[in-house]
Amino acid sequence: MVMKRKIDEVSDTEEGADIRRKRLENGLETTDDEELSSSGSADYTSREQSPVVHISISRERRSNAGNRMASLLNDMEEDEFYKNTYGGGFLEDDADDAYESPVGSDHDEIDSDFYNTEEEDEPISDNEQRERPKRRAKYRDLKPGDFMKRKQLLDKNRKWVMARMGGPTVAANTVSPETQAEMLEEAKETERLNIASLKKYEQYELERKKKREKNSLVRSVKPPLIKMVDTASGRFLTLPSVKEFKMPETKVRVLCAVTSRPAKYRDPVTGLPYADVDAFKNIRQKYIEYLKTIKNNSAVTAWLEEYG
């Protein structure tokens, strides 16, 4: 693509002038004034009827013909490599570097846009559009040193890519030569060290807890207290109130009237305590014998008749 553009530029600069001059001499081409004055249909008909002259036979060989063929072939080889490498991304950069805009064209266009806004609004005829000069890319000669630098850079990049592709992409897998028994022994030793470290940490935490509790303990005296209060009028002692407690009543132990053992029951008639059934019968017998000694008492006689 770059080579084609350069060949077209060469033909436009040197060969274009020779070809145009030959065609003017042979009557195959007219000047700009004649082209504008003549009509389109008549000009087209005259050109079809004119004889065709081959340029390669009629024109003379130039003195500098073939001088740039070597450089063009080198550029073609270089462009083919750039076209196939990295998706052809280098071609766009070369095209941008090779293009140079005319000097002062941007400045003139900006000034004309700024000051002549009303003129651009007017319609432009076809003749005025044809008279505008076309912008052409300026050809830039390549220095021999630039080509060598590019070639060295390409060789360096190619070697780097090949080295990256040929080198190992993943690190080699390293296997420890230790046996299963050695690994178990190492695990036991690690377990022992971990247990010792854990015990040491627990002891340290216990000491910290005791120290924290000791510092947080508030020393105080339990009541009752005797307080001494200092005031402006003097010093006073505050005595606590003493609580008085009654002594518990001691229970009198009741003994059986017959057996002298602790009595659990009491006779409702005589009111004497007794411990068991035999003692109760003995108390009633003694009571009846006592009532029989009483004479001339109707109540006693009636009770004896009922219960005696």
83 and 139: one domain?
Answer: yes
Average pLDDT, the chain: 71
Per-residue tokens: 157:
């990049």
Residue 139: inside a domain, yes or no? Answer: yes
84 and 149: one domain?
Answer: yes
- Residue 194, pLDDT > 90, answer yes
* Neighbour tally for 79: CB within 10 Å: 19
- Residue 187, pLDDT > 90, answer yes
* Separation CA 141–CA 132 (nearest Å): 27
Residue 119: inside a domain, yes or no? Answer: no
Percent of the chain whose pLDDT exceeds 90: 12
Give CA separation, 218 vs 213, 215, 221, in Å.
10, 8, 10
CA 260 to chain centre: 98
- Residue 299, pLDDT > 80, answer yes
Within 13 Å and on the Cβ side, how many CA atoms surround 289? 6
Question: Residue 132's pLDDT is what?
Answer: 63
Q: Map residue 273 onto helix, strand or coil.
A: strand
Spell out where the chain has E strands. 227-231, 234-238, 265-266, 273-274
Range in 39-48, 52-61, 138-147 the model is least confident about: 39-48
* Separation CA 4–CA 137 (nearest Å): 13
260 within 8 A of 276, measured Cβ to Cβ: no
Question: Residue 125's pLDDT is what?
Answer: 56
- Residue 206, pLDDT > 90, answer yes
Residue 137: inside a domain, yes or no? Answer: yes
Q: Taking the model in full, what pTM does it have?
A: 0.23
Per-residue tokens: 158:
């190619």
pLDDT band at 182 (very low <50, low <70, confident <90, very high): confident
Residue 200: inside a domain, yes or no? Answer: no
Beta pairing class for 234-238 and 227-231: antiparallel
- Residue 272, pLDDT > 70, answer yes
- Residue 292, pLDDT > 50, answer yes
- Residue 184, pLDDT > 50, answer yes
pLDDT band at 56 (very low <50, low <70, confident <90, very high): low
271 within 8 A of 259, measured Cβ to Cβ: no
* Separation CA 137–CA 6 (nearest Å): 10
pLDDT band at 14 (very low <50, low <70, confident <90, very high): low
Residue 293: inside a domain, yes or no? Answer: yes
73 and 153: one domain?
Answer: yes
4 and 81: one domain?
Answer: no
Query: Which of 245, 75, 61 has the alpha carbon at shortest distance from 144?
Result: 75
* Residues in the chain, total: 308
pLDDT digits (tens, 9 = 90+) for 70-89: 777 777 665 555 566 655 55
Residue 20: inside a domain, yes or no? Answer: yes
Question: Residue 197's pLDDT is what?
Answer: 95
pLDDT band at 42 (very low <50, low <70, confident <90, very high): very low
- Residue 41, pLDDT > 50, answer no
Within 13 Å and on the Cβ side, how many CA atoms surround 180? 0
Q: Which residues of 31-54 are buried (b: 16+ CB within 10 A; e: fewer)?
A: eeeeeeeeeeeeeeeeeeeeeeee
91 and 143: one domain?
Answer: yes
140 and 92: one domain?
Answer: yes
70 and 21: one domain?
Answer: no
Question: Residue 54's pLDDT is what?
Answer: 56
Per-residue tokens: 7:
């060949």
pLDDT digits (tens, 9 = 90+) for 132-179: 666 666 666 666 677 778 888 888 888 888 887 776 666 665 656 667
Residue 97: inside a domain, yes or no? Answer: yes
- Residue 108, pLDDT > 50, answer no
> Backbone phi, then psi, for 230, in 5-degree steps?
-100, 125
Average pLDDT in the 221-247 region? 83
80 and 149: one domain?
Answer: yes
16 and 49: one domain?
Answer: yes
59 in the Ramachandran plot: left (φ > 0), alpha (ψ -120 to 50) or beta?
beta
* Neighbour tally for 263: CB within 10 Å: 20
Q: Count structural domains, the chain.
A: 3
**DSSP, res 86:** G
pLDDT band at 58 (very low <50, low <70, confident <90, very high): low
57 and 72: one domain?
Answer: no
pLDDT digits (tens, 9 = 90+) for 111-137: 444 444 444 455 555 555 566 666 666
Residue 280: inside a domain, yes or no? Answer: yes
Per-residue tokens: 308:
């005696």
Residue range of the domain that includes 94: 66-106+133-162
